[in-house]
Amino acid sequence: MRSEEHSLVEVEIITKKDEPADGKADAKNEPGSKTAEEHVFEEKPKCINEEYEVVYHKPDTLLDVSMHYCPGCAHSLLHKLIMEAVDELGIQEKTVGVAPVGCAVFAYDYMNIDMSEAAHGRACATATGIKRLLPDSYVFTYQGDGDLAAIGIAETIHAINRGENIAIFFMNNAVYGMTSGQMAPTSLLGMKTTTSPYGRDVHEYGEPIKVSELISHLPGSFYVTRQAVNSATAVRKAKKAIMNAFRYQKLNKGTCFVEVIGNCPSNWKMTPLEASKYIDDEMVKAFPLGDIKLPKGEDLKLLEEVK
């Protein structure tokens, strides 16, 4: 699984024309093959050259600017996946995003779509206002755990209970990232943060809140899934979930909710690789990955018809 990590790094992957695109990935599975970092380092200096063809590039919906995110942060990856979905579905002209206070508050600096910044916790209310007036558009929110699960839990639950036809992308990295690592409602038990310096104590703060499971019980939620982006396999699955969350909006059947277990290397005080491992070793114990609520077969049939 780890051997595929090289694809997490945002570089244009260039392969020789005479070499199959997946040739390297196969080679990497052999014992003694190079580590992910070595591969990336080797590929990077090779700029676009007649000898090579571009087999992968950033989507056009992602602006060509450097991001403010810390090295190894999952936000940049999630931005890219969402913008890839918008690009591939060809819905840029009909998409409006909402990013509230949190690390992703500058999302509009990176996403080449119409966007609204929102007050802390209020993204679902803001998105409701947009979607109710633009019912044919694709509206999504991009929220962190402090925003969605603490200050904005009321707006989140009520928007979903009303079955607002929006997609909610919920980046859960178990800390307040932007304000530099305070305890979040999703912080794991025992997790040390700047406001839980002795570790989160269940008697003081209860268990980490499982928002996906909670909202999956609301009839207004249509599709609920929990994904991660700490491996190539996970990224591919997350991308599929994001594509679904957009496509299902066409059905007007309710809210699509994609929780993404992210990392926060800076505030977890880990290297990106350690943070990725922490997700597999610890985060997924509290937040198991996978689909929590899936559309019914007849709804999916309807989607084919809508197409």
Interface residue with other proteins, options 58, 94, 192, 250 (CB under 8 A): 94
Angle at CA 257, nearest 5°, toward 254 and 261? Answer: 175
Q: How far is the CB of 276 from other proteins (least distance, A)?
A: 29
24 belongs to the binding site for other proteins (CB under 8 A):
no
21 belongs to the binding site for other proteins (CB under 8 A):
no
State the SS3 of the chain: CHHHHHHHCCCCCEEECCCCCCHHHHHHCCCCCCCHHHHHHHHCCCCCCCCEEECCCCCCCECCCCCCCCCCCHHHHHHHHHHHHHHHHCCHHHEEEEEECCHHHHHHHCECCEEEEECCCCHHHHHHHHHHHCCCCEEEEEEEHHHHHHHCHHHHHHHHHCCCCCEEEEEECCEECCCCCEECCCCCCCCCECCECCCCCHHHHCCCCCHHHHHHCCCCEEEEEEEECCCHHHHHHHHHHHHHHHHHHHHCCCEEEEEEECCCHHHHCCCHHHHHHHHHHHHHHHCCCEEEECCCHHHHHHHHHHC
Q: How far is the CB of 142 from other proteins (least distance, A)?
A: 13
Residues 209 and 286: beta-carbon distance below 8 Å:
no
103 belongs to the binding site for other proteins (CB under 8 A):
no
Nearest to other proteins of 35, 137 (CB atom): 137
The residue assigned the tokens 């070595």 is 38
Residues forming beta bridges with residue 307, ordered by sequence position = none
Nearest to other proteins of 11, 119 (CB atom): 119
Q: How far is the CB of 108 from other proteins (least distance, A)?
A: 4
Interface residue with other proteins, options 126, 187, 221, 276 (CB under 8 A): 126
Contacts of 301 (CB under 8 A, 6+ apart): none
70 belongs to the binding site for other proteins (CB under 8 A):
no
Q: How far is the CB of 160 from other proteins (least distance, A)?
A: 11
Q: Which stretch binds other proteins (CB under 8 A): 75-83, 123-131, 210-218, 298-306?
A: 123-131
Q: Which stretch binds other proteins (CB under 8 A): 73-81, 102-110, 188-196, 209-217?
A: 102-110
Nearest to other proteins of 8, 101 (CB atom): 101
The residue assigned the tokens 């060809």 is 90
Number of residues forming the site for other proteins (CB under 8 A): 32
Nearest to other proteins of 122, 253 (CB atom): 122
Q: Which stretch binds other proteins (CB under 8 A): 13-21, 118-126, 233-241, 277-285?
A: 118-126
Binding mask 142-171 for other proteins (x = CB under 8 A): ------------xx--x-------------
Nearest to other proteins of 132, 296 (CB atom): 132
Binding mask 74-93 for other proteins (x = CB under 8 A): ------------------xx
Interface residue with other proteins, options 129, 163, 199, 220 (CB under 8 A): 129
125 belongs to the binding site for other proteins (CB under 8 A):
yes
Nearest to other proteins of 40, 178 (CB atom): 178
Residue type, 201: D
158 burial (CB, 10 Å; 0-12 / 13-18 / 19+) is middle
Summarize as ranges the residues that interact with other proteins (CB under 8 A). 92-96, 98, 105-106, 108, 111-119, 122, 125-130, 132-134, 137, 154-155, 158
